[in-house]
Amino acid sequence: MGVKILGTGVCFPETIVQNEDFTKIVETSDEWIVKRTGIHTRRMTGQPTYVLAEEAAKNAITDAKISPEDIDLILCTTVTSDFITPSLACVVQGRIGAKNAIAYDINCACAAFVYTMDLADMYLERGYKNILLISAECLSKITNFEDRGTCVLFGDGAGACVVTKGKGGFASALGCDGTGANTLFARRPRNDIPFVEVADPQDIDHFPDAKDNTIYMDGREVYKFAVNAMATGVKDACEKFGITPEELDWVIPHQANIRIVQTAAKELGLSMDKFICNIAEYGNTSSACIPIALDEAIKDGRIKRGQKICIVGFGAGLVYGGAVFEY
């Protein structure tokens, strides 16, 4: 069978942050940022993550021409949920009136949208009919704005899509290397406990010293993992689908760094013309990157029915995933 996309939607904050804006808070330049990342602007908000998630979800449901009551499962991805509990998915379920849906979150960082597509395929095989996938991130909430190497990378945004069972096939290839967990992470703030001495987690896990509640990234190590993971994810997903990468119509990668995408494309022997990239406008929005780019390419007519699409991402964990399906 397969996964068919019925509708997509996005939500962006109004505030656009230019590269020049960072020159006021850290030692950097527009030329330095563009050369190393390909990013020119990104969006940021002071609103809760669920506000973006709700709007993207509503737009996807409208585009799918169904009602919230028709949704029977909501899968949300985020690393910036507004609550430890309840899940973002449950909050959105209540706010949009999807009263017949079960709802939960998954945390696979920047690769998470690929994982929700894999889960959706399994749930559709079990009889679920309309599944809402939402990836919403406000990375500005966990960005260290004193770290010039990372603060210029991240932005806020949300993308969503409604999927149902299709006939075009579906295949995925997922992977994890937990030995790299210390190369990309954000610690939860510690809470004082009056009855026990609270351990310093760094004394136990020996992760690099990093500011609590902000992203730490070893750029060199993540880059090496990312290039290999992107190529592997595409190759393995295509092999399971029964095609070669050359037979793909489009590849939608995680928008982390344009140089990573370019290197992966070279490794795959594919032209950059096959890659849908909007990192220049939105930066790295973690798990929201892929559904945002997917929505853009569908709405502007690049992606057409019957075309074969590969989505591929990597992120903290370290995790990666690729999935191939027919639009």
Q: Which residues contact 124 (CB under 8 A, 6 or more apart)?
A: 1, 3, 131, 163, 164, 165
Q: 198, 202, 165: which is closest to 185 by C-alpha? A: 202
Maximal C-alpha separation, the chain? 61
Residue-wise pLDDT tens digits, 182-207? 999 998 888 888 889 888 888 888 89
CA pair distance 136, 159, nearest whole angstrom: 6
* Alpha-carbon dihedral angle through residues 205, 209, 212, 216, given to the nearest 10 degrees: -100
Q: Which residues contact 311 (CB under 8 A, 6 or more apart)?
A: 113, 114, 117, 251, 252, 253, 290, 294, 322, 323
- Return the pLDDT at 65: 98
Q: Which residue shows structure tokens 């209540």?
A: 94
pLDDT tens per residue, the chain (327 residues)?
899 999 999 999 999 999 999 999 999 999 999 999 999 999 999 999 999 999 999 999 999 999 999 999 999 999 999 999 999 999 999 999 999 999 999 999 999 999 999 999 999 999 999 999 999 999 999 999 999 999 999 999 999 999 999 999 999 999 999 999 999 999 888 888 888 988 888 888 889 888 878 999 999 999 999 999 999 999 999 999 999 999 999 999 999 999 999 999 999 999 999 999 999 999 999 999 999 999 999 999 999 999 999 999 999 999 999 999 999
Residue 166, both tokens? 């299709």
> Within 10 Å of residue 269's Cβ, how many Cβ atoms?
10
- Return the pLDDT at 272: 97
284 tagged catalytic: yes
Long-range CB pairs of 142-147 (<8 Å, 24+ gap) are 142/79, 142/80, 142/186, 142/213, 142/214, 142/215, 143/214, 143/215, 144/210, 144/211, 144/214, 144/215, 144/216, 145/25, 145/26, 146/25, 146/26, 146/211, 147/26, 147/214
Residue 248 preceded by cis peptide, ω within 30? no
State which amino acid sits at residue 201. P
Buried b (16+ CB within 10 A) or exposed e, 160-175: bbbbbbbebbbbbbbb
- Return the pLDDT at 52: 98
Q: Which of 254, 257, 277, 289 is catalytic?
A: 254
Residue-wise pLDDT tens digits, 125-136? 999 999 999 999
Q: Which of 144, 284, 289, 310 is catalytic?
A: 284
- Return the pLDDT at 198: 85
Residue 118, both tokens? 């894999």
The alpha carbon of 194 is separated from its chain's Cα centroid by a whole number of angstroms, namely 38
Q: Which of 76, 90, 110, 238 is catalytic?
A: 110
pTM: 0.95
- Return the pLDDT at 210: 84
Which residues does residue 286 pair with via DSSP β-bridges, in sequence order? none
CA pair distance 287, 193, nearest whole angstrom: 33
CA pair distance 295, 230, nearest whole angstrom: 21
Residue 291, both tokens? 């559904």
Domains of the chain, CATH where assigned: 3-167 (3.40.47.10), 171-180+213-326 (3.40.47.10)
